Amino acid sequence: MKLFLPLKLLFRLFAVLLMAMDGVQAVDLRGVEVALDGGASPESFEVELIGPFKLQIRAQEEAGAKPPRMHVQLPNSGTNAWPAADVEVRDGSGKVLLVQRTGIEWFKLSFALPQGGGTCVVQAVEPVGGWPKATSDKDRVIQDGVSGLRLRVAKWHAGRTAALSLRFDDSHPSHLTKAIPILDEYGFRGTFMVNPGASESGSRRVSDFEQHHAEWESLAMKGTHELANHSAHHRGGFSDVDTEAEIGEAAQAIWKLTPSRSQLMALNLGGGTRWETTRTLRFYLDKYHQFDAAENSTGMDDSYGGRVENFRRILAQHIQRGLWCRVHYHYIGENLSSTEANFRAALDIAKEHATELWIAGMADIHKYQTERNAAKLQVIQSAPRKLSFELACSTDSALYDHPLTLELAIAPGMEATKMIIKDANQAVLPAQPGKIDGADALRFVVPPRTAAYSIELTP
Ligand SMILES: [Zn+2]
């Protein structure tokens, strides 16, 4: 039996066909979608989930046929989401296959099935020590009846309700002439995703970054804005070696400009780029101290339409839910991706929410979020009016160096000025008065490291 197939066939349809043809039960792929092209007939392959995050594809040899390409789309949100950065593909002998992805959708894979049929496996490789598990809200709170003190790790830096990152892609000259001076006027920190690779021989593309190197260097030295990795040349990668060079060279160029800072930085491989590698994204992230910052961002180019009002709406939603709102721009100015007027209008909206928002660089926000998810508070000892406690934080302090904010509730009858907070060396920590849900509180910052502290209510 020969069927004529569209170029891409969704697995769900295929499963129905299989059932009709062979009486085989439909396989539940938990949100994974599989399609193939190359004109292969549906009876020539089978797909099955054989473990959590492990998909087996069995292809039969078709005489003389070119091995078809598989397209696998993994669910990237919800309860069935796969850890896409950890996914690789191997053939039946265990050899890793070359997989193609686009720069901003690592959860969509495309690869040629092994020549001559056989089995291959799409699987997420668990990192050494397991996938990180976030601590719970309960782990990050102390409610101590003996001392009467209540303490917690703040959701966001300085007790803000939500976070906002403003990202600018492609190291465009208008970032230096427009975006940065305007952000400085507002006092907002931006994240600049740059392509710091030198112009390549044989390419007509001139490096904007190279042409304005001195300006980017002085920006990096000032430290008011964050530089991030948008790959060396914004052209994708065509092999393991090439992919590593594109990620690694950009990281090194940025490290060179920011020698005194943590090496951790945001990575976004770029819209419209293709990457062919046998390796997991995790390999590159870990080796170069990057974190994936490509997804869940709202594009602010005027061509999408209604950007200012859309920003007002999504920002309000993120504030309401206490989340990290991410937006990205390309070029700023007249006849460019965003007009200066629309750029300013969005910044004005952010300014209206200044007291609720932590407007920061993407690495700052990622650090805080990761540190908080790795933090626990525990009572060491408590007595009336006195508490000693430990903050445990399991992140690597060489990379994750953003201070954590702790919030101390001021119960009725307590006086903020009589609360003395000390670190393990008996140094008094400065604290700022604030409010938690309308009630008085004190906030203080501590390094994201495991350490002991004490709080005393003096008479
Ligand atoms: Zn880009």
Residue 304 is classified by DSSP as G
24-33, 244-253, 430-439: segment of lowest average pLDDT: 24-33
Give the architecture (CATH level 2) of 138-157+368-457.
Sandwich (2.60)
- State the pLDDT confidence band at 132, using cuts at 50, 70 and 90: confident
pLDDT at 11 over 60: no
Identical fold, 11-124 and 138-157+368-457: yes
Where are the chain's structural domains?
11-124, 138-157+368-457, 161-354
pLDDT number for residue 295: 86
pTM summary value? 0.91
Which is more confident, 153 or 127?
153
pLDDT number for residue 135: 94
10 Å Cβ neighbour count for 225?
21
- Between the CA of 242 and the centroid of ligand 1 the distance, in Å, is 18
CB proximity list for 373: less than 8 A, separation 6 or greater: 132, 134, 135
47-56, 108-117, 365-374: segment of lowest average pLDDT: 108-117
- Between the CA of 10 and the centroid of ligand 1 the distance, in Å, is 30
pLDDT at 382 over 70: yes
Which is more confident, 121 or 59?
121
- Between the CA of 223 and the centroid of ligand 1 the distance, in Å, is 22
Asked whether the beta carbons of 285 and 293 are under 8 A apart, the reply is no
Which tokens sit at 321?
A: 């839910």
- Between the CA of 230 and the centroid of ligand 1 the distance, in Å, is 7
pLDDT number for residue 65: 67
Q: Which CATH superfamily hosts domain 161-354?
A: Glycoside hydrolase/deacetylase (3.20.20.370)
**How many residues are recorded in the chain?**
459
Asked whether the beta carbons of 331 and 338 are under 8 A apart, the reply is yes
User: Which pLDDT tens digit goes with each residue over 291-326?
Assistant: 999 889 999 999 999 999 999 999 999 999 999 999
Q: Return the CATH number of the domain spanning residue range 11-124.
A: 2.60.40
- Between the CA of 329 and the centroid of ligand 1 the distance, in Å, is 10
- Distance from CA of residue 214 to its chain's centroid? 29
- Between the CA of 235 and the centroid of ligand 1 the distance, in Å, is 9
pLDDT at 8 over 50: no
10 Å Cβ neighbour count for 329?
25
Average pLDDT over residues 136-165: 96
Q: How far apart are CA 300 and CA 297, in angstroms?
A: 9
- Between the CA of 194 and the centroid of ligand 1 the distance, in Å, is 8
Average pLDDT over residues 342-363: 98
pLDDT at 24 over 70: no
CB proximity list for 28: less than 8 A, separation 6 or greater: 49
Q: Which SS3 state, helix, strand or coil, does residue 44 take?
A: helix
- Between the CA of 186 and the centroid of ligand 1 the distance, in Å, is 25
55-59, 141-145, 240-244, 426-430: segment of lowest average pLDDT: 55-59
- Between the CA of 312 and the centroid of ligand 1 the distance, in Å, is 24
Average pLDDT over residues 387-409: 97
Asked whether the beta carbons of 282 and 87 are under 8 A apart, the reply is no
Average pLDDT over residues 97-106: 94
Average pLDDT over residues 76-91: 95
- Between the CA of 290 and the centroid of ligand 1 the distance, in Å, is 17
- Between the CA of 169 and the centroid of ligand 1 the distance, in Å, is 5
- Between the CA of 330 and the centroid of ligand 1 the distance, in Å, is 8
- Between the CA of 346 and the centroid of ligand 1 the distance, in Å, is 21
- Between the CA of 92 and the centroid of ligand 1 the distance, in Å, is 37
- Between the CA of 297 and the centroid of ligand 1 the distance, in Å, is 13
Buried residues in 8-47 as b, exposed as e (16+ CB within 10 A): ebebeebbebbeeeeeeeebebbebebbbeeebbbbbbbb
